[in-house]
Amino acid sequence: MENAVKSPIEMMYQWEQETPDHIFLRQPSNLEWTEYTWRQIADEVRRITSYIRAQELEPGSRIGIWSSNSKDWVIVDLAIMLSGNISVPLYPGQDVESAQYIFEHSETVLLFVGGFDQADRVDEALAREIPRVAMLGCTVECATSLKDIIANYEPFAESPIPNPEDIFTMLYTSGTTGNPKGVMHMHQTPGYVVPDLIEGLRMTEPVNRFFSFLPMSHAAERIVVEMTALYCNGTISFSEGLATFGDEIRSVQPTFFFAVPRLWVKFKEGVDAMIPAEAQAQLTQEQKKDIAKHLGFGSARIILTGSAPCSKDVQDWFMDMGIILRDAYGMTENFIHGVGWIHNDTPIAGCIGLPMGDSVEVKLSDEGEIMFRSKGLMKGYYRESEKTAEVLVDGWYLTGDAGKFDEDGNLWITGRVSEVFKTSKGKFIRPTRIEDLFGRSAELGQFCIMGHGLDQPMLLATLSEAGAELDEATLIDKLSALLQEVNEELPAWEKVAQVFITPEWLIENGLLTPTMKLKRKYIEKLYRANVEENLGGDKINVVS
C-alpha cells in the first residue's frame, strides 16, 4: 500500500495518538449530548476487539451489525476491523426475509444488535443460532452487552496494519430487483476514495461537523459521514429519531449534510406549511438565511442529495431559498466514488456534474449506459462470480443507469436501462424523465410511470401530506390541471393517459427498498390489474 494511503483502522491509530482529546462522537439523550473523545473511543474499540478475538473466530469471519445509528455503531465497526474480521451491516428497517437471506448468504457468526424495526421477529430473521451482543437501543435478549464487555475486557494492545487487499466490509445492496448482493470492499479502498471526497466536499477546513441520521448500513451515509469524519478528524453527532430530529440538527448546525430526496420534500413541505408560496416570493436574503438556520443549514458548506432522483422543482425551490442543494451520484459498488456537482455553487437542477476526483473515469457505452472506473471499485459480489462478471467488464463497472453528457462535460442521468419500456405503439418510454415533471406538484409524494404494452404511459402516485388534506373533488381538480399541464410539455407518445392515486409506498409494505428506492416491478405488479380494469376511464383515479 502506498505511504499516503491508510486504511480506516490506521486513521484511528493516528487520531488516538495525535488528538486523543478531540471529540469524535456525540450521542444525544432527550436533547442532552454526551461527547466522546478519541481516547475514550479507541479504548472502547480495543476492549470490544479483545472480546471478539476471545471468541476464536476464523480470521475474516463475517460479523453483523443490525442497528440504527449511534456512537456504538461506529465503535463496533472499528472493533470488527481491528479484530481482523468483516462487518456485515443490515438496515434498521431490513425486512425479515432479506435479513434471513443476508445472514445465511454471508455466513454471519456473530451479531451486534441495537435498535431496529424487526426486534419482535429477530429469532425468525436469524433462522439459526447466532450469538448476539447488545448495543445502544437494544431490546432483544443477548448473550452479553457492550457495557459488560467494556467493563470486563482489557484493551487489545496491538495496532496491526491490515493487508490492503483483504476485505473489511460487505455492504449488501438494497435489492430493488431480487436478493441483496454482498459488495466486498477492501481495507485500502477508503484510503484511495475518501481524500478525494474530503477535498471535493470542502472538508479540508479545521472544523467539520456531521449529523448522522440515515442508516449507516447505507453506503452513502457510511462513506460520506463515518468514513469522511474518520479521515478528516471531524465530529459526528447522532439523532435519536424523528421526535427530536429538528431540535438536534438545529443544535448541531452541520458543516456538511446529506439526505435522500424524500427528506428534501419533507423539509420543503414543512416550510410551505409555515409560509405560503406568495409570501415566500417576498422573502429577503436575511429571512432566507434564517430559514436555512432553522432547518439546520446555517453553517453548511456542502449540502447533498442522492440515492434517487430529486425533483427539479424541489431542487430549484431550495436554490431559490439560498440553500445550495447539490446532486451526487455513486454506487455501493464503487464506494460512491462517482460524480457530483461540487465544482461550483450554481448547480443545474437534475444534473449531477463532474467526476469526484482525477482518478475517477466515467464514460457511456454504445447503448448509453454509464460506466465507471476507479480505485473505489469493489472486489466483487460475495459468492456471486457470475453477477460480478456481468457488471465488472475490462475494469469498468456497468451501472445499469442510462445517461448523457452536456457540452460542458457534466453528466445527466436519463433513467435505468432496465426501466425503459415499450408501449403498444412501439415507442420507448424512460419513466424518470416524465416523473420529474410531476415533481412540481405539492399534492403528490411518490411517482411511478408504468405502461409496458399499453397504448400510453400511466402514472401511479401517492399523496403528499398536503394532498391528503384535500377533499376528493378539490384533489381531482388540482391533479387534472397538473396532468394537462405536464402533457402539454410531452410529445404525443409520452403523454400520460391516466393517474392512479394509491396508498403510500413504504419499506414496511415491500414497495420501497431500505434506502427508499422504488421497487418498480412490485409496485406495477400490485396495481397493474386495477389500471387495466380502468383503461379509458376517469383521468384521475383513487385506488383504495
pLDDT digits (tens, 9 = 90+) for 188-239: 999 999 999 999 899 999 999 999 999 999 999 999 999 999 999 999 999 9
pLDDT band at 176 (very low <50, low <70, confident <90, very high): low
The span from the CA of 444 to the CA of 439, in Å, is 8
- For the full predicted model, state whether its pTM sits above 0.95: no
How far CA 87 is from CA of 106, 162, 237, 343, in Å, comes to: 10, 14, 22, 34
Residue 295's SS3 state is: helix
Please give the grid coordinates belonging to residue 187: 481495507
**156-181: average pLDDT:** 90
Strand partners, 461: 447, 501
- Nearest 5°: CA angle at 168, between 164 and 173? 125
Closest residue by Cα to residue 197 from 164, 221, 162: 221
Mean pLDDT of the chain: 92
- Look-up of cell digits 479504548: 43
Q: Could you report the per-residue pLDDT of 269-298, keeping only the tens digit for each? A: 899 989 998 999 999 999 999 999 999 999
Element spanning 353, H or E: strand 351-355
- Taking phi over 0 as left and psi of -120 to 50 as alpha, with beta for the rest, 465 belongs to alpha
Q: Could you report the per-residue pLDDT of 392-448, keeping only the tens digit for each? A: 999 999 998 889 999 999 999 887 787 778 787 777 788 888 998 898 888 999 999
Domains of the chain: 35-186 (3.40.50.980), 256-298+301-417 (3.40.50.12780), 420-542 (3.30.300.30)
Q: What is the DSSP letter of 136?
A: T
Whether 146 and 135 have beta carbons less than 8 Å apart is answered as yes
Question: Could you report how far apart the first and last alpha carbons of the chain are, in Å?
Answer: 58
pLDDT for position 220 = 92
pLDDT for position 2 = 43
Residue 442's SS3 state is: coil
Whether 12 and 228 have beta carbons less than 8 Å apart is answered as no
pLDDT for position 32 = 95
The span from the CA of 466 to the CA of 445, in Å, is 9
Give Cα 432 distance to the centre of its chain: 19
pLDDT for position 177 = 61
Please give the grid coordinates belonging to residue 268: 420543503
Please classify residue 405 by burial: count the beta carbons closer than 10 Å to its beta carbon, then call 0-12 exposed, 13-18 middle and 19+ buried. Answer: middle
Q: Are strands 209-212 and 235-238 parallel, antiparallel or unpaired?
A: parallel
Please give the grid coordinates belonging to residue 369: 449506459
Q: Could you report the per-residue pLDDT of 435-493, keeping only the tens digit for each? A: 988 988 889 999 999 998 888 999 999 999 889 999 999 999 999 999 999 999 998 88
Whether 327 and 316 have beta carbons less than 8 Å apart is answered as no
The answer, yes or no, to whether residue 79 has pLDDT greater than 90, is yes
Q: What is the DSSP letter of 348?
A: P
Whether 230 and 81 have beta carbons less than 8 Å apart is answered as no
Burial code (b: 16+ CB inside 10 Å, e: under 16) for 164-185 equals bebbbbbbbbbbbeeebbbbbb
User: Strand (E) positions, 406-508?
Assistant: 411-416, 421-422, 428-429, 444-450, 458-463, 499-501
Burial code (b: 16+ CB inside 10 Å, e: under 16) for 36-54 equals bbbebbbbbbbbbbbbbbe
Closest residue by Cα to residue 238 from 15, 55, 400, 29: 29
The span from the CA of 122 to the CA of 127, in Å, is 9
Query: Could you tell me what percent of the chain has a pLDDT over 70?
Result: 99
206-210 contacts, C-beta under 8 A, 24 or more apart? 207/255, 208/232, 208/233, 208/234, 208/235, 208/255, 208/256, 209/234, 209/235, 209/237, 209/252, 209/253, 209/254, 209/255, 209/256, 209/299, 210/234, 210/235, 210/236, 210/237, 210/254, 210/255, 210/256
